[in-house]
């Protein structure tokens, strides 16, 4: 098998004009043009354009809709919005709400995470369930269940309080109530994040503190927490931005008592006819600015995490500390926490779903149990149609997102095009835009509709909203699964002679598939719960599940809400369990 000499293949370029400088310039242009390979450039360009369009047009139109009234630049929107609602009060409420719920969620989540990873706490499976379940329950249902639990006359909590103190002390329609519900709903996010952080921390760093004579408390204070600072900052950021963007809690719990935060105020402005778009836009922009500030602040807190090289990719075998006598009290605390934050809300839903009307918790009530609510639900055409709509939207947008982000991730990670990082940053832009604001912005866009097809009032606008909102999650899964792919797998395909498309189709995509599927599942789960964007964009016939729940709630049909909740939660539990089993190797991540 002696190599024959390759025949000479002419690949030289035609001689350009004699002038040196012109020759050099023509050369450079030819180099750039020559480097463009249509098979590779077109799909990449298309994806970049789509992502740019989806992420930028809402914000651009938002700005335009806020500042442009009757064709002239005006600040009328700002004046009306901030003057009437009292900017300071609203900002203060938003801060109190966001910071308050972040702190409570943080303390609860971190405490639970630490004892899970680092100690021999009893009832460990319960802890894990406490972590996962609230993530599955949509925020709307969680909030409504707390409303039912703390209803003045009928709620279980006040029943107990009445019995013990003689007064119903639980009033959920208050700032403490809002903070409580928001915090307990997002604590699981902190929990999962901090569990991962503690797991990847070298336990010998803490052990050496003990050997040096530190008490456990001193060790926590001076070693563990400082080392975990980058993770803590990241977790706080997530919860803070979540709270700022929170819609269900402020609207359901705050509005009745006129406690306004940005999101509830925006919603309020858009419920009153005639709609004051400029005011809503002004409030939205204010909210986005606060969110950006929050992100910037947290990034500064994390800035020094280069020194904290203790959190490596390696997982360490957790060496647990013995709680000793504290074991029983801590165990009881875990049960109590689980009971209050997870079991109670689920139980009240379950209980109510079998009753003809929401009533106090008594033993007699059991005699009135029936399946009526469920049968009514399943014969309700709006409900069945919303199920179809939700499925179509979730599955469809998840697929579109994963396809887009797979190609976009390749563009950002594998090419050397200058400015490619912009695509990465653009795709994370929707993260800081609260869902409600995204709904506002998108409605601005399609009221003027730059596209040649009808969008407003159709499913298309919901599709656009879903794809835009959940793009960051898809991007995160796509980039992480691509970075795990050894570059040499693609390079050897290149050397073997494959074109870009052949490489992507036969090597990159199949190997990215597990990560892409994980992202797809995550987006499906999260998008089925979606409310804050849909509520401004839906139209009759295009309702999704969460909208139907909302409508039931507004009409006061608590039993219908409960039945629907049970169905929804059970379905999500099934989906998540399947996903968990499938994704055990992939690792389902939360934001």
Partner 1 sequence: MLVIRNLVKTFAGERRRGADDAGRRVRAVDDISLEVKEGELFTLLGPSGCGKTTTLRSVAGLERPDSGEIRVADRVLFSTLNGRTVNVPTNQRGLGMVFQSYAIWPHMKVFDNVAFPLQVMPRGKRPSKEAIKAKVMAVLETMELAHMADRQATKLSGGQQQRLALARALVTEPPLLLLDEPLSNLDAKLRDSLRFELKRLQRELGITSVYVTHDQVEALALSSRIAVMRDGKVQQIGTPREIYEKPANRFVAEFIGTSNFFSGTTAGRIDGRLAVRTEHGTILVDATTPNEDGKPVLLAVRPEAIDITAGAAAGGRANEWTGEVVTRSYLGDSVDHIVRVGSTELRVRSRSSTSIQAHTEVTVRIDPANLTLIPIDA
First to last CA, the chain: 56
User: What DSSP designation does 543 have?
Assistant: -
Residue 176 Cβ vs partner 1, minimum distance, rounded to whole Å: 54
Q: Which of 314, 497, 584, 585 binds partner 1 (CB under 8 A)?
A: 497
Q: Which is nearer to partner 1, 258 or 486 (CB)?
A: 486
Whole-number Cα distances in Å, 211 to 114, 206, 214, 349: 20, 9, 7, 50
176 touches partner 1 by CB under 8 A: no
Residue 130 Cβ vs partner 1, minimum distance, rounded to whole Å: 38
Q: Which is nearer to partner 1, 208 or 492 (CB)?
A: 492
Q: Which is nearer to partner 1, 8 or 362 (CB)?
A: 8
Q: Max alpha carbon distance in the chain (Å)?
A: 101
Distance CA(70)–CA(3), nearest Å, equals 77
Using CB atoms within 10 A of its CB, is residue 565 exposed (0-12), middle (13-18) or buried (19+)?
buried
Distance CA(44)–CA(415), nearest Å, equals 10
Q: Which is nearer to partner 1, 448 or 486 (CB)?
A: 486
Q: Which is nearer to partner 1, 364 or 488 (CB)?
A: 488
Distance CA(588)–CA(16), nearest Å, equals 57
Q: Which is nearer to partner 1, 309 or 495 (CB)?
A: 495
Can you tell me whether residue 360 is helix, strand or coil?
coil
Distance CA(361)–CA(352), nearest Å, equals 9
Q: Which of 299, 375, 415, 496 binds partner 1 (CB under 8 A)?
A: 496
Q: Of the ranges 120-128, 133-141, 382-390, 493-501, which one interacts with partner 1 (CB under 8 A)? A: 493-501
Instruction: Using CB under 8 A, count the residues that bind partner 1.
Output: 39
What b/e string do you get for 499-537 counting C-beta neighbours within 10 Å, with b at 16 or more?
A: ebeebbeebbeebbebbbbbbbbbbbbbbbbbbbbbbbb
Q: Which of 449, 486, 541, 587 binds partner 1 (CB under 8 A)?
A: 486
1 touches partner 1 by CB under 8 A: yes
Q: Which is nearer to partner 1, 321 or 511 (CB)?
A: 511
174 touches partner 1 by CB under 8 A: no
259 touches partner 1 by CB under 8 A: no
320 touches partner 1 by CB under 8 A: no
510 touches partner 1 by CB under 8 A: yes
Residue 126 and residue 335 in contact, taking contact as beta carbons nearer than 8 Å: yes
Residue 262 and residue 287 in contact, taking contact as beta carbons nearer than 8 Å: yes
Q: Which of 89, 415, 492, 539 binds partner 1 (CB under 8 A)?
A: 492
Q: Which of 208, 499, 539, 577 binds partner 1 (CB under 8 A)?
A: 499
Whole-number Cα distances in Å, 139 to 296, 461, 463: 27, 23, 21
How many helices (H) and strands (E) are present in the chain, helices listed first? 28, 2
Residue 197, number of CB atoms within 10 A of its CB: 22
**Runs of H (alpha helix) within 223-326:** 225-227, 229-245, 248-249, 262-269, 277-302
Per-residue mark of binding to partner 1, 430-469 (x: CB under 8 A):
----------------------------------------
Q: Which is nearer to partner 1, 106 or 500 (CB)?
A: 500
322 touches partner 1 by CB under 8 A: no
Q: Of the ranges 87-95, 221-229, 406-414, 504-512, which one interacts with partner 1 (CB under 8 A)? A: 504-512
Q: Which is nearer to partner 1, 9 or 70 (CB)?
A: 9
Q: Of the ranges 118-126, 328-336, 356-364, 488-496, which one interacts with partner 1 (CB under 8 A)? A: 488-496
How far from the centroid of its chain's Cα atoms is residue 339's Cα? 25
Q: Which of 310, 502, 551, 571 binds partner 1 (CB under 8 A)?
A: 502
Per-residue mark of binding to partner 1, 7-46 (x: CB under 8 A):
-xx-xxx-xx---x--xx--x--xx--x--x---------
Can you tell me whether residue 97 is helix, strand or coil?
helix
Distance CA(346)–CA(143), nearest Å, equals 11
419 touches partner 1 by CB under 8 A: no
Using CB atoms within 10 A of its CB, is residue 163 exposed (0-12), middle (13-18) or buried (19+)?
exposed
Residue 237 Cβ vs partner 1, minimum distance, rounded to whole Å: 31
Q: Which of 79, 171, 304, 491 binds partner 1 (CB under 8 A)?
A: 491
Q: Which is nearer to partner 1, 501 or 580 (CB)?
A: 501
Residue 497 Cβ vs partner 1, minimum distance, rounded to whole Å: 5
Question: Cis before residue 274, ω within 30 degrees of 0?
Answer: yes
506 touches partner 1 by CB under 8 A: yes
Contacts of 186 (CB under 8 A, 6+ apart): 101, 105, 239, 242, 243
- By the criterion CB under 8 A, which residues form the site for partner 1? 1-6, 8-9, 11-13, 15-16, 20, 23-24, 27, 30-31, 34, 37, 418, 486, 488-489, 491-499, 502, 506-507, 510-511
């Amino acid at each position: 098998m002696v190599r024959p000499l390759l025949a000479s293949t002419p690949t030289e370029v035609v001689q350009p004009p004699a002038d040196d400088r012109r020759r050099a310039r023509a050369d450079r242009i030819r180099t750039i043009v020559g480097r463009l390979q249509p098979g590779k450039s077109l799909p990449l360009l298309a994806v970049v354009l789509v992502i740019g369009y989806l992420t930028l047009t809402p914000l651009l139109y938002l700005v335009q809709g806020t500042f442009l009234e009757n064709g002239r630049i005006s600040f009328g929107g700002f004046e009306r919005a901030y003057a009437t609602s009292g900017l300071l009060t609203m900002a203060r409420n938003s801060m109190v709400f966001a910071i308050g719920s972040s702190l409570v969620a943080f303390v609860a989540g971190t405490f639970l995470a630490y004892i899970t990873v680092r100690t021999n706490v009893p009832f460990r499976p319960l802890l894990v369930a406490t972590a996962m379940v609230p993530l599955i329950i949509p925020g709307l249902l969680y909030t409504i269940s707390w409303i039912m639990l703390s209803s003045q006359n009928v709620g279980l909590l006040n029943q107990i309080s009445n019995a013990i103190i003689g007064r119903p002390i639980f009033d959920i329609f208050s700032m403490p109530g809002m903070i409580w519900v928001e915090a307990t709903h997002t604590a699981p996010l902190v929990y999962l994040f901090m569990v991962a952080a503690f797991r990847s921390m070298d336990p010998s760093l803490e052990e050496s503190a003990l050997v040096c004579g530190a008490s456990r408390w001193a060790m926590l204070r001076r070693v563990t927490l400082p080392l975990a600072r980058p993770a803590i900052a990241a977790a706080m950021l997530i919860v803070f931005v979540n709270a700022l963007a929170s819609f269900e809690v402020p609207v359901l719990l705050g509005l009745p008592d006129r406690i306004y935060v940005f999101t509830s105020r925006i919603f309020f402005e858009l419920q009153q006819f005639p709609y004051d778009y400029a005011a809503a836009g002004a409030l939205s922009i204010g909210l986005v600015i606060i969110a950006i500030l929050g992100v910037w602040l947290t990034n500064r807190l994390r800035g020094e995490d280069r020194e904290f090289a203790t959190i490596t990719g390696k997982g360490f075998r957790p060496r647990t500390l013995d709680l000793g006598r504290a074991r029983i009290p801590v165990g009881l605390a875990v049960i109590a926490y689980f009971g209050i934050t997870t079991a109670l809300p689920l139980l009240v839903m379950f209980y109510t779903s079998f009753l003809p009307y929401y009533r106090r918790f008594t033993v007699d009530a059991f005699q009135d149990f029936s399946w009526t609510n469920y049968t009514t639900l399943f014969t309700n055409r709006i409900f069945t149609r919303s199920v179809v709509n939700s499925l179509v939207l979730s599955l469809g947008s998840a697929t579109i997102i994963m396809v887009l982000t797979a190609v976009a991730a390749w563009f950002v990670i594998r090419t050397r095009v200058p400015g490619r990082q912009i695509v990465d940053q653009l795709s994370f832009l929707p993260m800081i835009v609260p869902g409600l604001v995204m709904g506002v912005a998108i409605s601005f866009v399609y009221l003027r509709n730059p596209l040649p097809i009808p969008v407003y009032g159709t499913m298309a606008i919901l599709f656009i909203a879903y794809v835009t909102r959940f793009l960051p999650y898809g991007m995160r899964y796509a980039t992480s699964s691509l970075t795990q792919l050894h570059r040499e797998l693609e390079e050897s395909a290149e050397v073997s002679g494959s074109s870009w498309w052949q490489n992507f189709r036969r090597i990159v995509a199949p190997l990215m598939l597990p990560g892409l599927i994980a992202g797809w599942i995550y987006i499906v789960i999260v998008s089925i719960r979606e409310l804050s964007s849909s509520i401004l964009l839906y139209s009759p016939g295009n309702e999704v599940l969460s909208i139907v729940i909302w409508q039931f709630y507004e009409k006061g049909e608590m039993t219908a809400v409960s039945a629907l909740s049970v169905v929804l939660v059970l379905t999500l539990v099934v989906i998540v369990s399947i996903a968990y089993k499938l994704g055990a190797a992939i690792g389902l991540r939360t934001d």
